[in-house]
Structure 1
Amino acid sequence: MGRKFIDCREFPSDMNCSVTIIADNESELVEASVQHAVAVHGHQDTPELRDQIKAAIKDGMPSEKAPSRAA
Structure 2
Amino acid sequence: MGRKFVDCRAFPSQMNCSIAISADSEGELLEAAVQHAVAVHGHQDTPELRQQLKGIIKDGMPSEEAPSRAA
Shared fold (TM-score, shorter chain, > 0.5): yes
CA deviation string 1:7-35 (max 9, x = no partner)? 00112211100000000000000000000
Q: Which runs of 4+ in 1 moved over 4 A?
A: none
Query: Where is the helix percentage greater, Structure 1 or Structure 2?
Result: 1
Paired residue secondary structure (1:38):
helix
Q: Give ranges in structure 1 of 5+ residues lacking alignment.
A: none
RMSD of aligned Cα (Å): 1.0
Q: Give ranges in structure 2 of 5+ residues lacking alignment.
A: none
Identity of aligned residues (%): 79
TM (norm. structure 2) is: 0.92
Is 2:17 aligned against 1:17? yes
